[in-house]
Structure 1
């Protein structure tokens, strides 16, 4: 199966509110349609992740993330920070729109977002028409998967995964507050 067929099949699964694994800058991520509560619930169950922690959303450009961001609270400096290119993956914690579902924000009034230039993220989001959830592809207690084969080993031979390489980043994204630049997770 070539990559185009693989991507088309995975996009169809995303539209059917299923979970897929896809490569990001450093590791494989687990993604689903962030507007589907049933898909997010399946993802949280699979990861054994409490809903209170919230999730990261990833997309190739800001347009996909705007439905979740409370734009009224951002100034020009914030927009520049969000759109800037960094030498390592950077996730920003931003104010969430009041309409952003609690199953995405968890206990917070914020949402974590990342613009990624990884070709897998670009192709999946553009073809699906929405941002993706992004949480590392690993079962609790196991290391994040860095290869297609590792995803199959942890999640089973039939788990839907995009067969592409991860990017060149050594570590998963750092997470920072957009306003204060406080570091929540080292990258």
Structure 2
């Protein structure tokens, strides 16, 4: 109720969702929206996602109170959940949320705290990830505290987020429909539903430079998810992972950095393969951490940002990350890792 009171007073707070922690404000308040941008130091042309607590709330903020029919089979199966849909913008939605675009991104979270908060407020909530713009997404309340302490009045602690990556953003208004940002709801889940048979994925099946310059959803235009340490991503061929190859490539990269004059090298390694237990190098200090099993991409999605933030807190110079297959949640994992990486090494 304290959070509800603050949101009704046009304040911003940290709230848990099943994907990542959000920086919440009243989605119908120009003042609250402006505070989101200033607290995060977020670019003014990076749109926000609006969260609702029911289909009736969604209808109340739609032009003519009508949900586009293309989405109805998806909402029945996948809402509440980690799916965001692109819909026409009604006048009631401030243009600051959409950055002047004629569409708005909306989702119905499944997290009980997020749903209860929105329901008690009685209005939709805008909530990008509750981190400093460009930093790794927060999946624990302590991550929000690390990034935004003294900048917001309250954080609701709901424990670790279930998914660990942001929602999937689907534009069903395009023909064919397209995933603009892969996330917690998988391509496989969406593609089997009516009307989604020809589903495409942005940057996998098509690119649109105009869409990148004036995005309809977060996560398209700017570099994201980056810690202080430089991130190096080691990508496997499409036919699968081989941990031994990655270990060899990491040791080769360490040798290259030392030969280039890097002194007192401290490296963090996030991996999924058991072979990394043997990773050691007397020329560098190595902190190795497993982020789940490659055959279980949902584990990697949940642990990835936690691992990146933990290694960054250890003061490493580089974070080396083993890539995984793009099957199911792996598509969202690799999307985030490619955006976080300053260097990508193809194996």
TM-score normalised per structure 2: 0.48
The change in CA–CA distance for 1:54 and 1:83 in structure 2 (over 3 A counts) is farther
Runs of 5+ consecutive residues of structure 2 not aligned to the other structure: 184-347
Cα distance between partner residues in 2 of 1:16 and 1:85: 32
Comparing 71-80 and 46-55, the one that deviates more: 71-80
Cα distance between partner residues in 1 of 2:105 and 2:137: 19
Alignment match, 1:43 = 36
Shift of 1:154: 1.2
What does residue range 64-83 of structure 1 map to in structure 2 within 5 Å? 64-71=57-64, 74-83=67-76
Task: Pick from 11, 18, 40 the counterpart of residue 11 of structure 2.
Answer: 18
1:49 alignment partner, SS class: coil
**Runs of at least 4 residues of structure 1 off by over 6 A?**
none
Shift of 1:150: 1.4
Shift of 1:71: 4.5
Alignment match, 1:28 = 21
Shift of 1:116: 1.2
TM-score normalised per structure 1: 0.86
1:82 alignment partner, SS class: helix
Contact 1:81 1:178 in 2 (8 A): no
Note if 1:142 corresponds to 2:135. yes
1:114-159 Cα offsets, whole Å, 9 max, x none, are 0111111111011111111020011023211111111111111664
Alignment match, 1:4 = none
Aligned length, in residue pairs: 180
Note if 1:56 corresponds to 2:52. no
The change in CA–CA distance for 1:167 and 1:61 in structure 2 (over 3 A counts) is farther
Contact 2:80 2:109 in 1 (8 A): no
Higher relative contact order (CA 8 A, sep 6+): 1
